[in-house]
Amino acid sequence: MISIPLVQDENPWEPEETLFVAETPEIKTGFWKSLSLKTTRWYQKNVAQNSIRRCPFFPSCSHFTQKMIEKRGVFIGASLFIDRHFYRENSQIYQLYGLIEIDGILKLDDRYPDID
Amino acid sequence: MLFLCLFLQMPLNYNTNVDFADYLMQQHDYFRAISEYKRVLFFCQNDSIRYYCMTQIAKSYRKSRRFDSGVSYSNEVLNQEQLQANLRWQNSLNVGLAYLENNQPHLSLPFLQKTSELNPSLFVQLSVGLAHLRLRQWGKASERVRQAAFALKDTTVKAKISLMADSIDKFSLYPQKSPVAASLLSAILPGSGQAYSGHTYDAIQAFLYTFSIGFSSFALYKYEKKVKGRLQLTYIGFSITSLFYVGNIMGARRTAKYRNWRLESDFSKRIQEEVMQYEP
Protein backbone atom coordinates (compact mmCIF):
# COMPACT_ATOMS: atom_id res chain seq x y z
CA MET A 1 0.00 0.00 0.00
CA ILE A 2 1.39 3.38 -1.00
CA SER A 3 1.21 6.01 1.74
CA ILE A 4 0.56 9.54 0.57
CA PRO A 5 1.99 12.19 2.90
CA LEU A 6 -0.60 14.62 4.20
CA VAL A 7 1.80 17.52 4.45
CA GLN A 8 2.88 18.87 1.09
CA ASP A 9 6.49 19.52 0.37
CA GLU A 10 7.18 23.00 1.74
CA ASN A 11 9.66 23.71 -1.00
CA PRO A 12 8.23 22.36 -4.28
CA TRP A 13 10.46 24.56 -6.43
CA GLU A 14 13.02 23.02 -8.67
CA PRO A 15 16.63 23.93 -7.88
CA GLU A 16 17.40 27.36 -9.20
CA GLU A 17 19.99 27.75 -11.90
CA THR A 18 22.62 29.97 -10.37
CA LEU A 19 24.01 32.33 -12.98
CA PHE A 20 26.20 34.51 -10.85
CA VAL A 21 28.62 32.64 -8.64
CA ALA A 22 31.25 34.84 -7.07
CA GLU A 23 34.70 33.32 -7.10
CA THR A 24 35.89 32.82 -3.54
CA PRO A 25 39.38 34.27 -3.31
CA GLU A 26 42.14 32.17 -1.81
CA ILE A 27 42.77 33.24 1.75
CA LYS A 28 46.37 33.16 2.86
CA THR A 29 46.42 31.82 6.39
CA GLY A 30 49.38 32.25 8.67
CA PHE A 31 49.86 30.33 11.90
CA TRP A 32 47.85 32.65 14.17
CA LYS A 33 45.04 33.05 11.67
CA SER A 34 44.63 29.31 11.13
CA LEU A 35 44.85 28.73 14.89
CA SER A 36 42.10 31.26 15.61
CA LEU A 37 39.90 29.89 12.80
CA LYS A 38 40.37 26.35 14.11
CA THR A 39 39.50 27.57 17.62
CA THR A 40 36.23 29.12 16.43
CA ARG A 41 35.37 25.96 14.48
CA TRP A 42 36.12 23.84 17.55
CA TYR A 43 33.87 26.13 19.61
CA GLN A 44 31.05 25.84 17.03
CA LYS A 45 31.27 22.02 16.97
CA ASN A 46 31.84 21.19 20.63
CA VAL A 47 30.59 24.06 22.77
CA ALA A 48 27.86 25.85 20.81
CA GLN A 49 26.10 22.61 19.83
CA ASN A 50 25.74 21.62 23.49
CA SER A 51 24.80 25.06 24.78
CA ILE A 52 21.27 26.39 25.40
CA ARG A 53 22.37 29.98 25.01
CA ARG A 54 21.99 31.29 21.46
CA CYS A 55 23.39 34.39 19.85
CA PRO A 56 20.50 36.79 19.10
CA PHE A 57 22.20 38.05 15.93
CA PHE A 58 22.43 36.72 12.42
CA PRO A 59 25.17 35.89 11.52
CA SER A 60 26.09 34.52 14.95
CA CYS A 61 29.11 35.89 16.80
CA SER A 62 31.27 32.87 15.92
CA HIS A 63 30.47 33.08 12.19
CA PHE A 64 30.98 36.83 12.28
CA THR A 65 34.37 36.36 13.98
CA GLN A 66 35.45 33.81 11.38
CA LYS A 67 34.50 36.16 8.56
CA MET A 68 36.29 39.11 10.14
CA ILE A 69 39.44 37.13 10.89
CA GLU A 70 39.56 35.91 7.28
CA LYS A 71 39.02 39.42 5.96
CA ARG A 72 40.82 41.70 8.41
CA GLY A 73 43.33 39.58 10.31
CA VAL A 74 43.51 38.11 13.81
CA PHE A 75 43.85 41.28 15.92
CA ILE A 76 41.09 43.30 14.19
CA GLY A 77 38.90 40.20 13.96
CA ALA A 78 39.30 39.54 17.69
CA SER A 79 38.60 43.17 18.56
CA LEU A 80 35.46 43.14 16.38
CA PHE A 81 34.38 39.94 18.15
CA ILE A 82 34.79 41.74 21.48
CA ASP A 83 32.67 44.62 20.19
CA ARG A 84 30.01 42.23 18.93
CA HIS A 85 29.87 39.96 21.97
CA PHE A 86 30.53 42.32 24.89
CA TYR A 87 29.32 45.74 23.75
CA ARG A 88 26.31 45.04 21.55
CA GLU A 89 24.22 42.50 23.45
CA ASN A 90 21.90 44.64 25.55
CA SER A 91 18.21 45.49 25.81
CA GLN A 92 18.42 48.26 23.18
CA ILE A 93 19.17 45.83 20.33
CA TYR A 94 15.48 45.22 19.62
CA GLN A 95 15.07 48.93 18.81
CA LEU A 96 18.19 49.19 16.69
CA TYR A 97 18.19 46.03 14.56
CA GLY A 98 15.64 44.57 12.19
CA LEU A 99 14.32 41.01 12.53
CA ILE A 100 14.97 38.11 10.17
CA GLU A 101 13.60 34.58 10.28
CA ILE A 102 16.18 31.80 10.10
CA ASP A 103 14.84 28.22 10.27
CA GLY A 104 11.72 29.40 12.04
CA ILE A 105 13.63 31.42 14.65
CA LEU A 106 13.61 35.22 14.72
CA LYS A 107 17.10 36.70 14.82
CA LEU A 108 18.39 40.25 14.71
CA ASP A 109 19.63 41.18 11.27
CA ASP A 110 23.27 42.28 11.48
CA ARG A 111 24.23 41.73 7.84
CA TYR A 112 25.83 44.64 6.08
CA PRO A 113 26.35 44.61 2.32
CA ASP A 114 30.13 45.00 2.05
CA ILE A 115 30.21 47.65 4.69
CA ASP A 116 32.98 46.18 6.84
CA MET B 1 -14.95 14.77 -39.30
CA LEU B 2 -13.83 13.93 -35.78
CA PHE B 3 -10.20 14.22 -36.84
CA LEU B 4 -10.93 17.65 -38.37
CA CYS B 5 -12.57 18.83 -35.14
CA LEU B 6 -9.64 17.65 -33.08
CA PHE B 7 -7.21 19.37 -35.48
CA LEU B 8 -9.16 22.65 -35.31
CA GLN B 9 -9.33 22.47 -31.54
CA MET B 10 -5.54 22.25 -31.08
CA PRO B 11 -4.72 26.02 -31.37
CA LEU B 12 -7.70 26.87 -29.14
CA ASN B 13 -6.22 24.69 -26.37
CA TYR B 14 -3.11 26.89 -26.26
CA ASN B 15 -5.16 30.04 -25.76
CA THR B 16 -7.25 28.29 -23.11
CA ASN B 17 -4.13 27.13 -21.30
CA VAL B 18 -2.57 30.57 -21.56
CA ASP B 19 -5.76 32.16 -20.22
CA PHE B 20 -5.75 29.72 -17.31
CA ALA B 21 -2.09 30.48 -16.62
CA ASP B 22 -2.85 34.22 -16.75
CA TYR B 23 -5.66 33.65 -14.26
CA LEU B 24 -3.26 31.81 -11.92
CA MET B 25 -0.82 34.75 -12.24
CA GLN B 26 -3.56 37.18 -11.22
CA GLN B 27 -4.28 34.96 -8.20
CA HIS B 28 -0.53 35.17 -7.28
CA ASP B 29 -0.25 31.37 -7.64
CA TYR B 30 3.07 31.70 -9.41
CA PHE B 31 4.26 28.11 -9.03
CA ARG B 32 1.23 26.70 -10.83
CA ALA B 33 1.22 29.53 -13.35
CA ILE B 34 4.80 28.63 -14.30
CA SER B 35 3.78 24.97 -14.72
CA GLU B 36 0.93 25.95 -17.05
CA TYR B 37 3.10 28.30 -19.11
CA LYS B 38 5.76 25.61 -19.42
CA ARG B 39 3.10 23.17 -20.57
CA VAL B 40 2.18 25.57 -23.39
CA LEU B 41 5.86 26.07 -24.20
CA PHE B 42 6.37 22.35 -24.56
CA PHE B 43 3.50 21.81 -27.01
CA CYS B 44 3.18 25.12 -28.86
CA GLN B 45 5.23 25.98 -31.95
CA ASN B 46 3.89 29.51 -32.41
CA ASP B 47 6.76 31.92 -31.67
CA SER B 48 4.62 34.82 -30.42
CA ILE B 49 2.79 32.61 -27.90
CA ARG B 50 6.07 31.00 -26.83
CA TYR B 51 7.76 34.36 -26.22
CA TYR B 52 4.72 35.60 -24.33
CA CYS B 53 4.79 32.49 -22.11
CA MET B 54 8.51 32.88 -21.50
CA THR B 55 7.93 36.51 -20.53
CA GLN B 56 5.26 35.51 -18.06
CA ILE B 57 7.43 32.69 -16.66
CA ALA B 58 10.23 35.21 -16.09
CA LYS B 59 7.79 37.56 -14.34
CA SER B 60 6.45 34.73 -12.16
CA TYR B 61 9.95 33.70 -11.14
CA ARG B 62 10.77 37.29 -10.22
CA LYS B 63 7.59 37.65 -8.17
CA SER B 64 8.53 34.43 -6.37
CA ARG B 65 11.97 35.95 -5.63
CA ARG B 66 13.80 33.39 -7.76
CA PHE B 67 15.71 36.09 -9.54
CA ASP B 68 18.32 34.00 -11.36
CA SER B 69 15.67 31.93 -13.13
CA GLY B 70 13.66 35.07 -13.97
CA VAL B 71 16.68 36.81 -15.45
CA SER B 72 17.71 33.78 -17.51
CA TYR B 73 14.24 33.46 -19.09
CA SER B 74 14.02 37.17 -19.85
CA ASN B 75 17.51 37.23 -21.35
CA GLU B 76 16.61 34.31 -23.60
CA VAL B 77 13.62 36.28 -24.92
CA LEU B 78 15.65 39.48 -25.31
CA ASN B 79 18.25 37.62 -27.39
CA GLN B 80 15.62 36.97 -30.09
CA GLU B 81 16.06 39.29 -33.05
CA GLN B 82 12.46 39.43 -34.21
CA LEU B 83 10.65 40.33 -31.05
CA GLN B 84 7.59 42.49 -30.52
CA ALA B 85 8.32 45.84 -28.91
CA ASN B 86 5.75 45.06 -26.23
CA LEU B 87 7.61 41.91 -25.14
CA ARG B 88 10.99 43.60 -25.42
CA TRP B 89 10.25 46.32 -22.89
CA GLN B 90 8.44 43.88 -20.58
CA ASN B 91 11.46 41.58 -20.44
CA SER B 92 13.88 44.46 -20.10
CA LEU B 93 11.79 45.77 -17.21
CA ASN B 94 11.68 42.31 -15.66
CA VAL B 95 15.46 41.97 -15.72
CA GLY B 96 15.88 45.47 -14.25
CA LEU B 97 13.41 44.80 -11.45
CA ALA B 98 14.97 41.39 -10.71
CA TYR B 99 18.39 42.98 -10.23
CA LEU B 100 16.87 45.79 -8.18
CA GLU B 101 15.02 43.44 -5.84
CA ASN B 102 18.15 41.30 -5.58
CA ASN B 103 20.09 44.34 -4.23
CA GLN B 104 22.10 44.86 -7.42
CA PRO B 105 21.00 48.38 -8.46
CA HIS B 106 24.16 49.01 -10.55
CA LEU B 107 23.11 46.10 -12.81
CA SER B 108 19.44 47.11 -12.90
CA LEU B 109 19.90 50.73 -14.00
CA PRO B 110 20.94 50.09 -17.66
CA PHE B 111 17.96 47.77 -18.19
CA LEU B 112 15.49 50.15 -16.59
CA GLN B 113 16.83 53.11 -18.58
CA LYS B 114 16.47 51.10 -21.80
CA THR B 115 12.91 50.20 -20.78
CA SER B 116 12.07 53.86 -20.16
CA GLU B 117 13.20 54.67 -23.73
CA LEU B 118 10.84 52.00 -25.11
CA ASN B 119 7.95 52.69 -22.73
CA PRO B 120 8.07 55.85 -20.60
CA SER B 121 5.11 54.86 -18.40
CA LEU B 122 4.73 55.95 -14.77
CA PHE B 123 5.91 52.70 -13.20
CA VAL B 124 9.00 52.48 -15.43
CA GLN B 125 10.00 56.08 -14.62
CA LEU B 126 9.52 55.40 -10.91
CA SER B 127 11.61 52.22 -11.19
CA VAL B 128 14.45 54.20 -12.74
CA GLY B 129 14.14 56.71 -9.90
CA LEU B 130 14.24 53.85 -7.40
CA ALA B 131 17.42 52.47 -9.00
CA HIS B 132 19.06 55.90 -8.68
CA LEU B 133 17.90 56.02 -5.05
CA ARG B 134 19.45 52.63 -4.28
CA LEU B 135 22.70 53.91 -5.83
CA ARG B 136 22.51 56.92 -3.46
CA GLN B 137 22.07 59.32 -6.40
CA TRP B 138 19.48 61.42 -4.59
CA GLY B 139 19.33 64.29 -7.10
CA LYS B 140 18.77 62.03 -10.11
CA ALA B 141 16.21 59.97 -8.18
CA SER B 142 14.05 62.96 -7.19
CA GLU B 143 14.40 64.47 -10.69
CA ARG B 144 13.15 61.26 -12.31
CA VAL B 145 10.26 60.94 -9.89
CA ARG B 146 9.26 64.57 -10.53
CA GLN B 147 9.37 63.95 -14.31
CA ALA B 148 7.02 61.00 -13.79
CA ALA B 149 4.65 63.18 -11.72
CA PHE B 150 4.75 66.03 -14.29
CA ALA B 151 3.32 63.83 -17.04
CA LEU B 152 0.34 62.67 -14.93
CA LYS B 153 -3.19 63.94 -15.32
CA ASP B 154 -4.71 62.34 -12.20
CA THR B 155 -4.15 64.99 -9.52
CA THR B 156 -4.37 62.58 -6.56
CA VAL B 157 -1.64 60.32 -7.90
CA LYS B 158 0.35 63.37 -9.02
CA ALA B 159 0.28 64.76 -5.48
CA LYS B 160 1.43 61.40 -4.02
CA ILE B 161 4.32 61.11 -6.47
CA SER B 162 5.35 64.73 -5.83
CA LEU B 163 5.40 64.00 -2.09
CA MET B 164 7.64 61.02 -2.83
CA ALA B 165 10.08 63.30 -4.68
CA ASP B 166 9.99 65.81 -1.80
CA SER B 167 10.74 63.07 0.73
CA ILE B 168 13.76 61.97 -1.35
CA ASP B 169 15.04 65.56 -1.39
CA LYS B 170 14.55 65.87 2.39
CA PHE B 171 16.28 62.55 3.04
CA SER B 172 19.33 63.60 1.01
CA LEU B 173 19.80 66.52 3.40
CA TYR B 174 19.54 64.30 6.51
CA PRO B 175 22.83 64.48 8.46
CA GLN B 176 25.01 61.40 8.27
CA LYS B 177 27.17 60.18 11.12
CA SER B 178 30.88 60.24 10.33
CA PRO B 179 32.69 56.94 11.06
CA VAL B 180 35.96 58.85 11.46
CA ALA B 181 34.45 61.18 14.06
CA ALA B 182 32.94 58.20 15.89
CA SER B 183 36.33 56.42 15.96
CA LEU B 184 38.11 59.54 17.25
CA LEU B 185 35.51 60.10 19.96
CA SER B 186 35.82 56.49 21.12
CA ALA B 187 39.62 56.75 21.10
CA ILE B 188 39.42 59.73 23.46
CA LEU B 189 36.60 58.44 25.67
CA PRO B 190 35.56 54.78 25.27
CA GLY B 191 31.88 54.54 24.39
CA SER B 192 31.42 58.13 23.19
CA GLY B 193 31.55 57.08 19.53
CA GLN B 194 28.68 54.64 20.07
CA ALA B 195 26.71 57.34 21.91
CA TYR B 196 27.36 59.74 18.98
CA SER B 197 25.64 57.21 16.67
CA GLY B 198 22.68 56.79 19.01
CA HIS B 199 23.62 53.40 20.51
CA THR B 200 23.45 54.50 24.14
CA TYR B 201 23.53 51.12 25.85
CA ASP B 202 26.45 50.02 23.65
CA ALA B 203 28.28 53.17 24.80
CA ILE B 204 27.71 52.37 28.47
CA GLN B 205 28.87 48.77 28.04
CA ALA B 206 31.94 49.80 26.04
CA PHE B 207 32.92 52.36 28.65
CA LEU B 208 32.39 50.01 31.61
CA TYR B 209 34.25 47.06 30.07
CA THR B 210 37.17 49.11 28.77
CA PHE B 211 37.52 51.12 31.97
CA SER B 212 37.26 48.11 34.31
CA ILE B 213 39.69 45.95 32.34
CA GLY B 214 42.10 48.87 31.89
CA PHE B 215 41.92 49.73 35.57
CA SER B 216 42.47 46.07 36.52
CA SER B 217 45.51 45.89 34.22
CA PHE B 218 46.91 49.06 35.76
CA ALA B 219 46.33 47.72 39.28
CA LEU B 220 48.04 44.47 38.27
CA TYR B 221 50.98 46.45 36.91
CA LYS B 222 51.28 48.39 40.20
CA TYR B 223 51.11 45.19 42.21
CA GLU B 224 53.69 43.32 40.17
CA LYS B 225 56.06 46.30 40.17
CA LYS B 226 55.75 46.81 43.93
CA VAL B 227 55.60 43.23 45.20
CA LYS B 228 57.15 40.99 42.59
CA GLY B 229 59.55 43.40 41.01
CA ARG B 230 59.06 41.96 37.54
CA LEU B 231 56.20 42.25 35.09
CA GLN B 232 54.65 39.01 33.80
CA LEU B 233 50.89 39.02 33.97
CA THR B 234 50.90 42.76 33.25
CA TYR B 235 51.70 42.08 29.59
CA ILE B 236 48.70 39.77 29.31
CA GLY B 237 46.54 42.32 31.10
CA PHE B 238 47.56 45.15 28.79
CA SER B 239 47.12 42.93 25.70
CA ILE B 240 43.56 42.19 26.74
CA THR B 241 43.00 45.89 27.49
CA SER B 242 44.29 46.85 24.03
CA LEU B 243 41.91 44.34 22.43
CA PHE B 244 38.95 45.83 24.29
CA TYR B 245 40.10 49.38 23.52
CA VAL B 246 40.57 48.70 19.79
CA GLY B 247 37.28 46.78 19.79
CA ASN B 248 35.60 49.88 21.19
CA ILE B 249 37.08 52.06 18.41
CA MET B 250 36.26 49.58 15.61
CA GLY B 251 32.79 49.12 17.08
CA ALA B 252 32.17 52.88 17.07
CA ARG B 253 33.20 53.09 13.39
CA ARG B 254 31.00 50.14 12.50
CA THR B 255 28.06 51.55 14.49
CA ALA B 256 28.22 54.88 12.61
CA LYS B 257 28.32 53.07 9.25
CA TYR B 258 25.49 50.76 10.32
CA ARG B 259 23.35 53.68 11.42
CA ASN B 260 23.78 55.44 8.04
CA TRP B 261 23.16 52.22 6.11
CA ARG B 262 20.09 51.31 8.19
CA LEU B 263 18.44 54.70 7.63
CA GLU B 264 19.07 54.53 3.88
CA SER B 265 17.91 50.91 3.70
CA ASP B 266 14.66 51.59 5.60
CA PHE B 267 13.94 54.68 3.49
CA SER B 268 14.57 52.93 0.17
CA LYS B 269 12.40 49.96 1.28
CA ARG B 270 9.56 52.33 2.04
CA ILE B 271 9.92 54.06 -1.35
CA GLN B 272 10.14 50.66 -3.06
CA GLU B 273 6.85 49.54 -1.47
CA GLU B 274 5.18 52.75 -2.68
CA VAL B 275 6.59 52.36 -6.21
CA MET B 276 5.57 48.69 -6.50
CA GLN B 277 1.93 49.72 -5.93
CA TYR B 278 1.98 51.17 -9.45
CA GLU B 279 3.22 47.98 -11.10
CA PRO B 280 0.76 46.97 -13.86
Query: What was the ipTM of the complex prediction?
Result: 0.75
Q: How far apart are CA B50 and CA A115, in angstroms?
A: 43
At B229 the pLDDT is 79
Q: For residues A39-47, give the mean pLDDT.
A: 89
Q: For residues B256 and A23, which has the higher predicted lDDT (pLDDT)?
A: B256
At B1 the pLDDT is 60
Closest CA to A87 of B72, B152, B197, B108: B197
Q: Do A79 and B246 touch (CB under 8 A)?
A: yes
At B37 the pLDDT is 92
Minimal CA separation from A46 to chain B, in Å = 25
Q: How far apart are CA B7 and CA B9, in angstroms?
A: 5
* Mean pLDDT of all residues belonging to chain A: 78
Which of A19-23, A42-46, A77-81, B265-269 comes out lowest in average pLDDT?
A19-23
Minimal CA separation from A24 to chain B, in Å = 19
At A54 the pLDDT is 80
At B96 the pLDDT is 93
- The distance in angstroms from the start CA to the end CA of chain B is 44
At A24 the pLDDT is 57
Look at the alpha carbons of A86, A92, A95, A99 in this order and tell me if their dihedral is positive or negative: positive
Minimal CA separation from B174 to chain A, in Å = 18
Q: Is A94 in CB contact (< 8 Å) with chain B?
A: no
Contacts of B244 in chain A (CB under 8 A): 79, 82, 86
pLDDT of A61 strictly over 80: yes
At B165 the pLDDT is 92
In chain B, residues 75-104 whose CB comes closer than 8 Å to chain A: 103
Contacts of B199 in chain A (CB under 8 A): 88, 92, 96
Cβ within 8 Å of residue B81, ≥6 positions away: none
Q: Is B200 in CB contact (< 8 Å) with chain A?
A: yes
Residue ranges of chain B whose pLDDT lies below 50 = 9-11
At A97 the pLDDT is 87
